[in-house]
Amino acid sequence: MNKYSVVMEKDIARFHEEVNDLINDGWDLQGGVSHSNSPNGIIFLQAITKVQ
Q: pTM to 2 decimals?
A: 0.90
SS3 7: strand
Locate the domains of the chain by residue range.
2-51
Please list the pLDDT of the chain residue by residue as tens digits (52 residues): 899 999 999 999 999 999 999 999 999 999 999 999 999 899 999 999 999 8
Query: For position 52, what pLDDT does the model report?
Result: 86
- Is the Cβ–Cβ distance between 45 and 34 less than 8 Å? yes
Query: For position 1, what pLDDT does the model report?
Result: 83
- Is the Cβ–Cβ distance between 2 and 24 less than 8 Å? no
